[in-house]
Amino acid sequence: MDLNRVLITGAAGFIGFHLCQKLLNSGQSILGIDNLNSYYDPLLKRGRLRLLEKHPKFHFNKVDLCDSALEKIILDFNPQVIIHLAAQAGVRYSLENPEAYVQSNVMGTLKLLEVSRHLSVKHFIYASSSSVYGANKSIPFQEADRVDQPMSLYAVTKRTNELTAQVYSQLYNLPLTGLRFFTVYGSWGRPDMAYFSFTKKILNGDPISLYNNGNLKRDFTHVSDIVESIARLIPKPPVEVNDLGARHQILNIGAHQPVPLLEFIETIEQLLDKKAVKEYLPMQKGDVFETYADVSKLEQITGYKPQVSLKNGLKEFMDWYLSYYESTDQKEVFS
């Protein structure tokens, strides 16, 4: 299947950046879209973009998903594949600014689906989240589990996107794949993520906040495993219709290895050779106790399952982090 023109939304974001690099190195032409918002420091996004723009087959357009100019930009590029990663991220921030989540995550996705139905897109892949499992008690999380007990507005928007994609596939025969990511980490990551902020605070001697007294487990998944999985999925759109008459599939992408939060922090301490100052706090609203991905469907379709160990993945991040923030240009980010 010839799939050389790929549109990636959220191209200057954490996962989008790594995916762009992988696909560019494989010879694909990429149109990257991002609004470069200030949810976290734009310097990091611009740094990612500088690296991507060294590739002759990378083209970038700063535009919001809800902008009226979006449709023409996409139609002019005429992508064979759309990978929709742009979103207002962060579970806790959704408690503070709920409207941003509905506008970006729900309306932005709807706009893309509307444009896609007028194109001959061979595969539309979009980011969902493990947060949709909410209060689900069945471990490990399977794609067929209940997802009607969300714990945050962020989860609501992601589940809304899954349902919207299902209907669009039914109505317009769009081949769609939704990916439920599980706690992604790695170099060039988001500063609001726990592993990133823990590293900064430990180095600075600041206390780190441990919710539910640190009694949490997360299925930490290295970004290289995420992008490898997506790359393998691109030429594998759903062919057969599901029980609802749609060419739509939902897949977990996780390490299939839940790690206790205190063990995670201990690994960071060992890599930094410095102890953390811990502040134990009650459970935070919107959080869940444990995430754990069943990835058997992903492995069946792609022949691949995430494999980067926590220690190796965190070492990769630490090496990047220490190098990045040692450079003079980035010191303002650290202040």
**pLDDT tens for each residue of 206-224:** 999 999 998 999 999 999 9
Per-residue pLDDT band at 52 (split at 50, 70, 90): very high
| Residue 252: strand pairing partners | 180
Contacts of 308 (CB under 8 A, 6+ apart): 222, 224, 225, 255, 316
DSSP string, 117-183: TTTT-SEEEEEEEGGGGTT---SSB-TTS-----SSHHHHHHHHHHHHHHHHHHHH---EEEEEE--
Taking the C-alpha atoms of residue 226 and residue 184, their distance in angstroms, rounded to an integer, is 8
Per-residue pLDDT band at 2 (split at 50, 70, 90): low
Is 98 a residue whose pLDDT tops 80? no
Q: What is the largest CA-CA distance in the chain?
A: 56
State the catalytic residue, choosing from 93, 154, 185, 195.
154
Taking the whole predicted model, whether its pTM rises above 0.95 is answered as no
Taking the C-alpha atoms of residue 242 and residue 170, their distance in angstroms, rounded to an integer, is 9
Task: Evaluate whether residue 325 is within a structural domain.
Answer: no
Domain count for the chain, please give it. Answer: 1
* pLDDT for position 253: 97
Task: Evaluate whether residue 316 is within a structural domain.
Answer: no
Q: Cα 82 vs. chain centroid, distance in angstroms?
A: 15
Task: Evaluate whether residue 281 is within a structural domain.
Answer: no
Is 335 a residue whose pLDDT tops 60? no
Contact in structure between 233 and 176 (CB atoms under 8 Å)? no
Task: Evaluate whether residue 214 is within a structural domain.
Answer: no
Residue span of the structural domain in which 145 resides: 5-185+220-254+288-307
Task: Evaluate whether residue 318 is within a structural domain.
Answer: no
Beta strands in 182-315 (DSSP E): 184-185, 207-210, 217-218, 221-222, 248-253, 259-260, 277-280
Taking the C-alpha atoms of residue 188 and residue 149, their distance in angstroms, rounded to an integer, is 32
Q: Phi and psi of 229, rounded to 5°?
A: -65, -45
| Number of Cβ atoms within 10 Å of the Cβ of 112 | 26
Per-residue pLDDT band at 288 (split at 50, 70, 90): confident
Taking the C-alpha atoms of residue 169 and residue 123, their distance in angstroms, rounded to an integer, is 11
Task: Evaluate whether residue 314 is within a structural domain.
Answer: no
Length of the chain: 335
| Active-site annotation holds for 168 | no
* pLDDT for position 151: 86
> 3-state SS string over 24-65?
HHCCCEEEEEECCCCCCCHHHHHHHHHHHCCCCCEEEEECCC
> In the β-sheet with 176-181, what is the strand arrangement from edge to edge?
58-62, 29-34, 5-9, 81-84, 123-129, 176-181, 248-253
Task: Evaluate whether residue 163 is within a structural domain.
Answer: yes
* pLDDT for position 292: 95
CATH number for the domain spanning 129: value is 3.40.50.720
Q: What is the CA angle 191-160-217, rounded to 5?
A: 45
Place of tokens 């990429």: 30
* pLDDT for position 97: 67
Task: Evaluate whether residue 271 is within a structural domain.
Answer: no
Helix (H) or strand (E) holding 19: helix 14-25
Taking the C-alpha atoms of residue 275 and residue 202, their distance in angstroms, rounded to an integer, is 7
Strands 29-34 and 5-9: parallel
The whole-chain average pLDDT of the chain stands at 91
